[in-house]
């Protein structure tokens, strides 16, 4: 066989959001911390992200995770998160998928009925508790990095939409959050194209008008993801959410080229950011479960378990619970004669091509 660069991966999804987990083919990458390893991949090894997330091996809503040896003595494993346009410091769905894969494949020992472990994400250490029954991870609860609101009820002037009231908060990534109702949206699956279109416009305007920098890590900058909120349609949920993950470049000169894909889940770090906003507005107390419904009707359960400070911002410590399911095992390869070794995008579903 004439193949090179074989990557072994396990495919999974957390409440609908796909999270591929690379478990073989990359021994390690340079860096003293997982964040430094993430930066090395972004600057020197980005071909891996493109190869695994673009066609023909991926698609616009794909995510991928690279499992690496931990750099912190308290961690059991490290992982770098890869999305279509960025390397997020933290991701809830990917944490749930990585935990499930590590335990259900035997890469880390599983103890029933509860397995406790610590993962090292680029954003820092993430304590995880997995509930286990008959060899299956039935629920993953992790303690996220501190979440905090930066802007509350700020005004953003969005071209083609007008002035909107938005919140900006950090839950592992910087989110812009606004209500769907003034935009005429209910957050139903049939509205997916319009949700993505307006969300990308709101995100781009917010990045320009409300710059943000993480006070403890100046390399984490700018709003990179957009979230719409609406009343829940599930009887067990408090609110409904639709989070848009960018897949391409926004071009103001060509209306209709805003490219993105909906997070199929209720979004883990997005739920944490929303809880930080609700707490800052006095609408969500500590130790109160918050059930967040996604576009598919699946639910993540969040809870604020403490208060802290990420100077100059008051912050909260969130936990997030959900479940993942393994969907497949695969070895991905590159033929030396393949004209697209790192994949490709086409404007029919990607919006713009590279």
One domain, residues 163 and 247? yes
Contact predicate 99/142, CB 8 Å: yes
Inside any domain, residue 284: yes
Which CATH number is 293's domain given?
Answer: 3.10.310.10
One domain, residues 246 and 336? no
Which residue's structure tokens are 């943000």? 212
Identify the burial level of 154 via C-beta atoms within 10 angstroms of its C-beta, where 0-12 means exposed, 13-18 middle and 19 or more buried: middle
| DSSP class of 11 | E
Q: Is 91 a catalytic residue?
A: yes
One domain, residues 39 and 118? yes
Domain limits for position 265: 148-322
Torsion sign (Cα): 325, 331, 337, 342: positive
One domain, residues 214 and 345? no
Q: How far is it, in rounded angstroms, from Cα 67 to Cα 269? A: 19
Inside any domain, residue 97: yes
One domain, residues 164 and 200? yes
At 257 the pLDDT is: 43
Q: How confident is the model over 36-48, as pLDDT tens digits?
A: 999 999 999 999 9
Q: How far is it, in rounded angstroms, from Cα 16 to Cα 25? A: 26
Q: Residues of the chain whose pLDDT is less than 70?
A: 1-2, 248-258, 351-354
Q: How far is it, in rounded angstroms, from Cα 102 to Cα 118? A: 12
φ and ψ at 96, to 5 degrees? -65, -45
At 88 the pLDDT is: 93
One domain, residues 301 and 221? yes
Q: Which residues of 329-343 are buried (b: 16+ CB within 10 A; e: fewer)?
A: eeebebeeeeeeebb
Q: How far is it, in rounded angstroms, from Cα 142 to Cα 302? A: 10
Which residue's structure tokens are 């770098």? 80
One domain, residues 152 and 110? no
Inside any domain, residue 54: yes
One domain, residues 262 and 173? yes
Q: How far is it, in rounded angstroms, from Cα 113 to Cα 227? A: 35
Which residue's structure tokens are 């990179």? 224
Q: How far is it, in rounded angstroms, from Cα 195 to Cα 192? A: 5
8, 62, 91, 321: the catalytic one is: 91
Q: How far is it, in rounded angstroms, from Cα 23 to Cα 8? A: 6
What's the half-sphere exposure (Cβ side, CA atoms, 13 Å) at 154? 20
Torsion sign (Cα): 347, 351, 352, 353: negative
Inside any domain, residue 336: yes
Inside any domain, residue 117: yes
Type and span of the H or E element at 30 = none
pTM of the model: 0.93
Inside any domain, residue 285: yes
CA distances from 9 to 55, 89, 304, 326, 331 (A): 16, 21, 33, 11, 6
Q: How many domains does the chain have?
A: 2
One domain, residues 288 and 167? yes
One domain, residues 111 and 129? yes
Tokens of 155: 């005004």
Cis peptide before 122 (omega within 30 of 0): no
One domain, residues 127 and 165? no
Single out the residue of 149, 115, 108, 148 nearest to residue 131, CA to CA: 115
Inside any domain, residue 143: no
Strands (E), 232-323: 239-246, 260-262, 290-293, 299-310, 313-322
Alpha-helix runs per DSSP H in 221-311:
268-280
Torsion sign (Cα): 349, 200, 173, 136: negative
At 49 the pLDDT is: 96
One domain, residues 308 and 329? no
Q: How far is it, in rounded angstroms, from Cα 188 to Cα 209? A: 29
Q: How far is it, in rounded angstroms, from Cα 277 to Cα 151? A: 9
Under DSSP, is residue 328 helix (H, G, I), strand (E, B) or coil? strand
């Amino acid at each position: 066989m004439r193949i090179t660069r074989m990557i072994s991966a396990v495919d999974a999804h957390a409440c609908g959001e796909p999270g591929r987990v690379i478990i073989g083919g990359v021994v390690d990458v340079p860096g003293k911390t997982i964040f430094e390893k993430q930066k090395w991949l972004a600057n020197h090894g980005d071909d891996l992200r493109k190869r695994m997330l673009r066609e023909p091996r991926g698609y616009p809503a794909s995510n991928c995770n690279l499992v690496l040896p931990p750099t912190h003595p308290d961690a059991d494993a490290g992982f770098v998160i890869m999305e279509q346009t960025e390397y997020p410091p933290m991701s809830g769905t990917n944490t749930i998928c990585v935990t499930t894969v590590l335990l259900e494949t035997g890469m880390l020992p599983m103890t029933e009925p509860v397995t406790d472990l610590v993962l090292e994400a680029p954003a820092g250490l993430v304590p995880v508790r997995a509930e286990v029954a008959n060899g299956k991870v039935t629920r993953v609860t992790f303690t996220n990095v501190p979440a905090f609101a930066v802007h509350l009820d700020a005004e953003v002037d969005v071209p083609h939409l007008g002035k909107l009231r938005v919140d900006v908060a950090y839950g592992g990534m910087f989110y812009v959050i606004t209500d769907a109702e003034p935009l005429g949206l209910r957050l139903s699956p049939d509205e997916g194209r319009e949700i993505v279109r307006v969300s990308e416009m709101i995100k781009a305007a917010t990045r320009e008008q409300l710059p943000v920098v993480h006070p403890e890590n100046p390399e984490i900058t700018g709003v990179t993801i957009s979230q719409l909120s609406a009343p829940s349609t599930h009887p067990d949920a408090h609110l409904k959410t639709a989070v848009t993950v960018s897949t391409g470049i926004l071009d103001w000169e060509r209306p209709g080229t805003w490219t993105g894909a909906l997070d199929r889940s209720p979004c883990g770090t997005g739920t944490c950011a929303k809880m930080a906003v609700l707490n800052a507005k006095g609408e969500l107390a500590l130790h109160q479960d918050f059930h967040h419904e996604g576009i598919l009707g699946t639910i993540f359960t969040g809870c604020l378990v403490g208060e802290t400070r990420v100077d100059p911002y008051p912050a909260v410590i969130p936990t997030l619970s959900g479940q993942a399911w393994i969907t497949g095992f695969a070895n991905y390869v590159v033929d030396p004669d393949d004209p697209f070794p790192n994949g490709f995008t086409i404007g029919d579903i990607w919006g713009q091509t590279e």
